[in-house]
C-alpha cells in the first residue's frame, strides 16, 4: 500500500426500527462534520431504495492517515453513541 493511495469504503448500515428517528436525526451532523475533515474527498450516506431502514454508505479519503483520523473522530462523536447498535457491513480498499 502506497502512502498516496486513496481509501474507499462502501457498504451499508441497518438501523433498528426503534432507533430510526434518532439515527436519521443525527446523520446530517455526522455527514457535515465528516465533509469538514481535511482528508475527506467524498462521503455519501443515502437511504436504500430497496431495504427499509438501511443507509448506503460510500466514502473516499485521500489516504490511510486521513481515513484513520476519520475513524478516531467518529468513535469519539455523538454519532458513535447514537448508532452503536446499528449493524454495519462495509468493505474497505485502497487504490490510486
Which domain CATH number covers 46? Answer: 3.30.70.100
Is 1 a domain residue?
no
Asked whether 54 and 12 are in contact (CB, 8 A), the reply is: yes
**Positions in the chain short of pLDDT 50:** none
pLDDT in the model for residue 49 = 98
Is 38 a domain residue?
yes
* Number of domains present in the structure of the chain: 1
What is the CA 83 to chain-centroid distance, rounded? 11
pLDDT in the model for residue 1 = 57
Asked whether 87 and 12 are in contact (CB, 8 A), the reply is: no
| Owning domain of residue 89 | 6-95
Is 83 a domain residue?
yes
Amino acid at each position: 500500500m502506497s502512502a498516496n493511495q486513496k481509501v474507499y469504503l462502501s457498504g451499508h448500515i441497518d438501523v433498528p426500527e426503534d432507533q430510526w428517528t434518532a439515527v436519521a436525526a443525527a446523520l446530517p451532523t455526522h455527514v457535515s462534520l465528516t465533509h469538514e475533515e481535511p482528508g475527506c474527498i467524498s462521503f455519501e450516506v443515502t437511504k436504500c431504495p430497496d431495504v427499509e431502514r438501511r443507509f448506503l454508505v460510500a466514502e473516499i479519503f485521500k489516504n490511510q492517515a486521513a481515513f484513520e483520523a476519520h475513524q478516531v473522530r467518529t468513535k469519539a462523536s455523538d454519532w458513535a453513541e447514537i448508532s452503536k447498535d446499528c449493524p454495519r457491513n462495509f468493505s474497505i480498499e485502497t487504490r490510486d
